[in-house]
Amino acid sequence: MVVRGGDRGFVTRARRWLAHGFLMGLIAGSLWLTGTQAQASGERVVPDLRNDPQAPGRRAAVRMRIAVTLHVATMGDRPALDPRRLERAMRRANEALRQFGIEVFVARVALMPEGFAEIKHRRHRRALAGFAPSDGTVHVFLVDTVELGSLLRADRGVRGLHWRYRGLSRKLRNREYVVLGNDAPATTLVHEIGHLFGLEHDLGRQNLMCSCREGPQQVFTRAQGVEIRRGAAQFISRIRG
Ligand SMILES: [Zn+2]
């Protein structure tokens, strides 16, 4: 099920948000590089040093910049997720990924129609796939509530999940995405990106791939970093191919 924009009320509210600069603020936030179009690149990219006083040393090593498409679920009159939480999650993701030469950035923000704030059942997850074409970007859905129906992989029940299509439909082949609930801590996004690039869970409490993780100190190991790079390169080549 893909709901498209015939709802006048929705369009009116969307315009109001745009007028308030909410979505533009998400894209243009000083922590994120602004991209005018979605891209995922395995090539060396000239660092964009604007707004980043620490940039020279850290950005110089980035070889892979991976675009994120944000899909913001709506609840009544407002977006389902606090943008400040998202900002922290993006910052946390790049802290963990940059040492392995990967950076994620928000390339596009799309408002969801109403009806996707609660992702609880298989049919909900499948409906999200309709919004997540294999277009070279990592699709991240920002919702209010995530719950498990019968799901193989989700984290702490209600905070985030990584979904990958494993069925036979040609239309959905290769589709995958990440969902973040509104109570997701800052590490959830990078944890789910870890899954997206091929990592399994780890039992170490200081590891970002532990579903037990707590506190601010978690990292990826060097071996996980190698695997993430391989997974990210595959993600990019699969979409290109
Ligand atoms: Zn997990």
- Output the CA 210–ligand 1 centroid distance in Å: 7
**pLDDT (0 to 100) of residue 120:** 87
Within 10 angstroms of residue 107's Cβ, the number of other Cβ atoms is 24
**pLDDT (0 to 100) of residue 159:** 86
- Output the CA 177–ligand 1 centroid distance in Å: 13
Rounded CA-CA distance 27/49 in Å is 16
Rounded CA-CA distance 108/129 in Å is 17
Amino acid, res. 102: I
Cβ-defined contacts of 121-124 (< 8 Å, 24+): 121/149, 122/149, 122/150, 122/151, 123/1
pTM for this one? 0.76
What averages of pLDDT result for each successive group of 10 residues across the chain (241 residues)?
46 52 51 37 44 46 88 88 88 96 95 91 92 93 84 60 90 92 92 96 92 80 96 83 51
- Output the CA 153–ligand 1 centroid distance in Å: 6
Q: Which two tokens stand for residue 67?
A: 């675009």
- Output the CA 157–ligand 1 centroid distance in Å: 10
